[in-house]
Structure 1
């Protein structure tokens, strides 16, 4: 997979988001779109939840090194509603990128398992007269809330044509994109088994050419087992400047200074979603079936693994993102 291919995809993604956030009137659903649409369970019975705890032992997520208790950890308890932790965004209007999925609040598309995982399930039913593609897009009520810390997720990602799972950050609303910034911790598309760690904070023009950074990390077994993705940040109490490091399975893969003018990191929130099709996927659509993005753990700690001393070492070793 060439970097130019990634660059083309990220440029398409960025331009699409700029259109989505700056021209919301162009993103409105068509007049016959029912914002409160209910999934037709009789037309296509929902697939049963998978008990991921019953998978072979080599499927078990990595066990992160022991740390102090996190200051926030999502409790994926099946007795509680998704809405107690996340806002469930909805819509089938393309999301600025000509995507095909309808994000719903249906328990078919997002649910907690009996073994306390969160599943975002993208369902492709291309032969269906309606609801051809449904999925979930969730963002946390919780923000990063502190001037420094480490956000970690243990994720099992689907790998297939037309599938685009993502774990990322945006400032809490109201915000202005891209001026206030965006952080992508995990995203991969079309089953290419490549993670893209990204920082966005400018427009896509000559003046802002250096305001978009990316590092690609090849993960050969992305579709076979869970992986640990983390993002550590440190920023002064005044909320200006600072440093951040991206990690994959405990390895520092990218670093960046926090740009002046972006929102203070304590105000950012966590987003999880599975998109389908669209410009980033090159117009490819997934074959019929279900595609699960499984979150085994989601937490925010006061420091990265190894403490802030190790963060300093990681900062020196990690590479700067490539400019786009």
Structure 2
């Protein structure tokens, strides 16, 4: 049964002036070049080159936020990683975003959530819900993953979905979401559930850490990493990850 989405709890439509950055009342920039635990190559910045609002007639309000991965003159890479840690965190609901994804070898966009208590309860015990990940050499394949104590990293609970007829996610916007309830998380693409998990799906003895915790939201565009691999001669840069909106609804 499709839930009624009657109460909007939090949102960003990215309708601020063209050329401005993400709303600092909602989003915090993660900065640095430490590989982020995944052997990534990019330096995350707060420069407008890497994150800015642009005109986009394909976006529902005519504007979108772009996260942009760029090759530097020295041969490195810059990009952007945004989070709502300290500004907003959710407990249950539909968490969704309308996104147009980049592609190419070594390109890795994500829309995901982490437990708000991560500084006190280190990952993976804090929990992680990956609503959308894409590795750029498979531009038509979506991954949704759950990480927690006893099921993290390469042992995370992952499922993929492949667009039909050779379509790729760089061609058009799609809506990526989770419906998060006590004891159950459903992953959706364009309103259709494609996988579900409950505590019964966890490895024996592993705890479900998603019922009473608050989770903050993240959007990022990585370059390289142990999972997607690294850019090669086929990789075209810059690459753009476009965000039409991010919304959180109560599930009625």
Assess same fold via TM > 0.5: yes
Q: What is aligned with 2:240?
A: 292
Note the residue ranges of structure 2 that are not aligned, 5 or more in a row: 56-61
Contact kept in structure 1, 2:5 and 2:250, CA below 8 Å? no
CA deviations 1:187-234 (Å, max 9, x no partner) are 011330211111111346xxx899731111002231100111110111
> How far 1:184 sits from its partner (Å)?
0.7
Q: What is aligned with 1:135?
A: 79
Q: What is aligned with 1:250?
A: 191
> 133, 143, 153: which one pairs with 1:187?
133
- In the alignment, the residues of structure 1 paired with residue 237 and residue 124 of structure 2 have an alpha-carbon distance, to the nearest angstrom, of 34
Assess, with a 3 A threshold, how the Cα gap between structure 1 residues 99 and 176 changes in structure 2: closer, same or farther: same
> How far 1:124 sits from its partner (Å)?
2.2
Structure number with bigger Rg: 1
Q: Does 1:280 align with 2:217?
A: no
- In the alignment, the residues of structure 1 paired with residue 210 and residue 4 of structure 2 have an alpha-carbon distance, to the nearest angstrom, of 31
Contact kept in structure 2, 1:111 and 1:119, CA below 8 Å? yes
Contact kept in structure 1, 2:105 and 2:229, CA below 8 Å? no
> How far 1:69 sits from its partner (Å)?
4.4
Contact kept in structure 2, 1:201 and 1:211, CA below 8 Å? no
- In the alignment, the residues of structure 2 paired with residue 232 and residue 249 of structure 1 have an alpha-carbon distance, to the nearest angstrom, of 13
Q: TM-score, normalised by structure 2?
A: 0.80
Assess, with a 3 A threshold, how the Cα gap between structure 1 residues 81 and 265 changes in structure 2: closer, same or farther: farther
Contact kept in structure 2, 1:78 and 1:113, CA below 8 Å? no
> How far 1:266 sits from its partner (Å)?
4.9
Q: What is aligned with 1:119?
A: 66
Bigger fraction of residues in helix? 1
Q: TM-score, normalised by structure 1?
A: 0.64
> 144, 151, 156: which one pairs with 2:100?
156
Assess, with a 3 A threshold, how the Cα gap between structure 1 residues 123 and 302 changes in structure 2: closer, same or farther: same
Q: What is aligned with 1:196?
A: 143
Q: What is aligned with 1:78?
A: 16
Q: What is aligned with 2:49?
A: 108
CA RMSD of aligned residues (A): 2.6
Aligned length: 226
- In the alignment, the residues of structure 1 paired with residue 224 and residue 210 of structure 2 have an alpha-carbon distance, to the nearest angstrom, of 30
Contact kept in structure 1, 2:107 and 2:222, CA below 8 Å? yes
Q: What is aligned with 1:92?
A: 33
Note the residue ranges of structure 1 that are not aligned, 5 or more in a row: 1-64, 236-241, 308-324
Question: Higher relative contact order at CA 8 Å, sep ≥6: structure 1 or structure 2?
Answer: 2
Contact kept in structure 2, 1:123 and 1:288, CA below 8 Å? no
> How far 1:171 sits from its partner (Å)?
0.8
Contact kept in structure 2, 1:92 and 1:103, CA below 8 Å? yes
Q: What is aligned with 1:232?
A: 179
CA deviations 1:229-269 (Å, max 9, x no partner) are 1101112xxxxxx1111101111111111574525455101
